[in-house]
Amino acid sequence: MRKKPKKIYHAYRGKPRWKKALLWGGAALGTLILLTVASVWLLFRQELAIAGTIRPLGRGSPAYFMEVKGDYFFEEFLDRGGASSDMEVSVFLSKKISKGFYTAPVGDYREGCSVLSAVSAEGFHLWGRNYDWTGSVPIIVRHVPKDGYTSLSTCDFQNITGSSQALPEGMMNRMLAIAALYVPLDGVNEAGLCVADLEVNEGGMPDPDTEKPDLTVTTAIRLLLDKAGTVEEALALLEQYDIHPSGGISHHLAISDAKGSSVSVEFTGDGFTAVYTQAATNFNLANGDTSAGGESAEARYNQLMEFFRSGATPTAENVKNAMSLVSQTDTGWITQWSMIYDQANPCVTWYFKGDFVNGVTLPISLDGSGR
């Protein structure tokens, strides 16, 4: 009878079951983390791309730079009827930036500013702007919309955070800074359109309620920089909307273009009046009372008009000197930034805190590097 072969038992040389479990568990956890990271990236990919462009402007300036390519939901914002208050803008942006997880405030602000528009002997548009306040965290935004004009604009980050101590650093504040696209205080686009927001000290800006869609003053500035190439186009766009106050104050807009046309848009009743002028400060020109905005506003306006009465040659340097003369340094209100634009060299130069020697120049349409 044939014998059965003996069974030979070998020692188990594989991993113990508990080690296998750990390996499988680690692999599963790693996969979950990768999937989570991928999901977060897909959900916030636009925001992360924009936040990644934020950097200190450098060269001793207190400003930051941010670049936005595409409209970042601005066309959707317009299609939905815009917004009649800063809070409505905040709610819209919170849903987009944080996907509803966080509500970003848009703070109140006040300002006392000056604007000058001139044409050089060679026919080029020159423009100067001072933004005056007690403190600021400037963010310069280059916007490259899909359908529209590339522009450079300035936002005060404290109008988003409510604090002059908060900086657009760290991921949370970088995400908040994306809202700067919707709250510009001034800017210049590649067509040569220049827009600046100025407070009207005597108050009285109406809060219209017609059948038109709505825009706040700052979102109106974004619309003009994106869509308007001339003063006429800007006025035609504004006619299509009810324009509401931003920051709890009254405003007017100084708008000028490459042809040298320059107006102050003053909001009255359910619309506005466009007053053709080469200078503006903090009172409505349509009223004809230069003292209505107070002693400082009147003095700055008269000083700017002296630029033309004196027969000074309109050059970028002389416009800078004129803005220096009306800058504020010892009144409690400080000129936070000044902008000089020369159409002959399509760049914008910023000067900060009354320092008109050390400026930072950025081209409107390139990659954000200064020169």
What confidence tens digit (pLDDT) does each residue in 322-344 have? 999 999 987 678 999 999 999 99
d(CA 316, CA 297): 23
DSSP H/E element including 309: helix 295-309
Nearest 5°: the CA angle 45, 47, 50 is 110
d(CA 209, CA 220): 16
Please name the residue that has the structure tokens 């902008």.
339
| pLDDT class of 30 with cuts at 50, 70, 90 | low
Instruction: Please give the share of the chain, as a percent, with pLDDT higher than 90.
Output: 70
Residue 27 has pLDDT above 70, yes or no: no
d(CA 242, CA 213): 6
Question: Which pLDDT belongs to residue 1?
Answer: 52
Question: Which pLDDT belongs to residue 333?
Answer: 84
55 strand-pairing partners: 65
* Helix 295-309, helix 316-325: angle, nearest 10: 150
CATH class belonging to 56-363:
alpha beta
| pLDDT class of 76 with cuts at 50, 70, 90 | very high
Instruction: Please give the share of the chain, as a percent, with pLDDT higher than 70.
Output: 84
Using alpha carbons only, how large is the chain's radius of gyration in Å? 27
* Helix 231-238, helix 217-227: angle, nearest 10: 130
Question: Which residues are CB-contacts of 330 (< 8 A; sequence separation ≥ 6)?
Answer: none
Query: Rounded mean pLDDT of the chain?
Result: 87
pLDDT digits (tens, 9 = 90+) for 250-303: 999 999 999 999 999 999 888 999 999 999 999 999 988 888 889 999 999 999
d(CA 300, CA 326): 5
Nearest of 128, 114, 127 to residue 300 by alpha carbon: 114
| pLDDT class of 170 with cuts at 50, 70, 90 | very high
DSSP H/E element including 262: strand 262-268
d(CA 129, CA 253): 12
d(CA 188, CA 341): 8
* Helix 17-51, helix 170-177: angle, nearest 10: 40
Across 176-185, average pLDDT: 96
Residue 3 has pLDDT above 60, yes or no: no
* CA distance between the termini of the chain: 101
The amino acid at 203:
G
d(CA 347, CA 218): 22
| pLDDT class of 184 with cuts at 50, 70, 90 | very high
Q: Give the DSSP letter of residue 120.
A: -
Across 3-14, average pLDDT: 50
| pLDDT class of 2 with cuts at 50, 70, 90 | low
Structural domain boundaries in the chain: 15-51, 56-363
144 strand-pairing partners: 69
Separation of CA 182 from chain center:
6
Nearest of 44, 47, 115, 93 to residue 279 by alpha carbon: 115
d(CA 259, CA 262): 9
d(CA 72, CA 59): 29
Q: Is the dihedral of CA 46, 51, 55, 61 positive or negative?
A: positive
